[in-house]
Amino acid sequence: MSTFSETLGGAWGMANKDKARYHRKFTDMEARNREARSRRDALRQTARETAAATGHVQWILRGRTDLGWSRKYSGQDIIRRWRLGPPAFAGHGTTIQVRNMDTLDAAVELRRQAMEQPDPRRQRNLRPAVLNFANARKPGGGWWNGAVAQEEAMCYRSTLARSLHQRDYPLGPDQGIYSSRVAVLRHSMRSGHAWITDRGSLSPATVRQLPWYSALTIAAIYKPDTRYAMRGTPPRRTKVFARNADRQLTKAKMRLALHMAAMHGHDMLVLGAFGCGVFENPPWDVAQCWLEVLREYQHRWRCVWFAVYDPRQQGNFRTFEKLLNGKRV
């Protein structure tokens, strides 16, 4: 039989172990919080530097290129008023490629390939049209405050924020912004946002050599209701939009993106897992919507890439690769 002192000693030992576990947990939490604050501070500094560099690039360009030029469109209006000509690639179209890449890394690579393979048949727009998963209320989302999502990542690396004006916000459910000329100034966050061209070396010649793209700024639905249904081959229990109205609105947003790109002469697209991150749209259904809408605009594209960055290949990349990679549009 245990003595009173043994029982008391055991209880004291357990209390000390609990205290030690709590201390380790608290210390780990504090370390994570410090790391998050440090990252936010670094990204705020990156935002300030990128904004300053954007102003310098605009000064170099003078009146030749306006980095702030953009235009807001309504989906219902654009399709009625701006009819598209015949498809440029009738009869063959292109094959969708799903890449496990950052959005702007994909845009830079696509532009590089286009410049290395000139097409003598017609004047080409060498700027890929890149979908920006927008914050509907705030230009650039939280990029001034160190937030990390797709739109903010694009703003940290390029001149995109200069073309997003408060006067155009909030974005309505069927509205989007087309930014004609956006220059990529930095490498990805993984590289520490290193400059592509040192700021001290910027000149008319080096600015022309920067990677350029055009942006399609559209906001996905924020946290739509979802349900589970049997989808796919073979059928599996899959998360989909609970309301058909949300699915149709998502397709309307995609249609707006493709129409803006086509009417401005783009034949290269960088799309993605639209709204499938913090906005919690259902990935399988979103990928299926993309396929349906791309087929409405088939034979208009030289290249269609989906940039779905998923380092562990455990999330959206696999879904989009399975549903879209290799499909003809």
> How confident is the model over 142-159, as pLDDT tens digits?
999 999 999 999 999 999
Q: Can you give the CATH number for the domain in which 194 is found?
A: 3.40.220.10
Phi and psi torsions of 3, nearest 5°? -80, 165
Q: pLDDT tens-digit profile of 8-24?
A: 666 666 767 767 777 67
- 291 within 8 A of 248, measured Cβ to Cβ: no
How many domains is the chain built from? 1
Token pair recorded at residue 23: 């201390």
| Confidence tier at 311 by pLDDT (50, 70, 90) | confident
Structural domain contains residue 13: yes
Structural domain contains residue 329: no
| Confidence tier at 122 by pLDDT (50, 70, 90) | low
Q: pLDDT tens-digit profile of 87-117?
A: 989 888 899 999 999 999 999 999 999 888 8
Alpha-carbon gap, residue 93 to 297, rounded angstroms: 10
State the residue range of the domain holding 19.
Answer: 4-324
The distance from CA 111 to its chain's CA centroid, rounded to whole angstroms, is 17
> Which residues, in sequence order, are CB contacts of 232 under 8 Å at separation 6+?
238, 284
The distance from CA 310 to its chain's CA centroid, rounded to whole angstroms, is 13
Q: Is the pLDDT at 194 greater than 70, yes or no?
A: yes
Alpha-carbon gap, residue 12 to 18, rounded angstroms: 10
Token pair recorded at residue 171: 């974005």
pLDDT of residue 2: 58
* Residue 174 DSSP SS3: coil
Mean pLDDT of 216-240: 95
Q: Find out whether the peptide bond into 282 is cis, omega within 30 degrees of 0.
A: no
Q: pLDDT tens-digit profile of 246-276?
A: 999 999 999 999 999 999 999 999 999 999 9
Structural domain contains residue 247: yes
Contacts 24+ apart (CB under 8 A), 82-89: 82/259, 82/263, 84/259, 84/262, 84/263, 84/300, 87/298, 87/299, 87/300, 88/122, 88/267, 88/299, 88/300, 88/302, 89/267, 89/299, 89/300, 89/301, 89/302
Q: pLDDT tens-digit profile of 290-307?
A: 999 999 999 999 999 999
Of 108, 124, 110, the C-alpha closest to 264 is: 124
Mean pLDDT value across the chain:
92
This prediction's pTM: 0.89
Pairing of strands 226-231, 96-99: unpaired
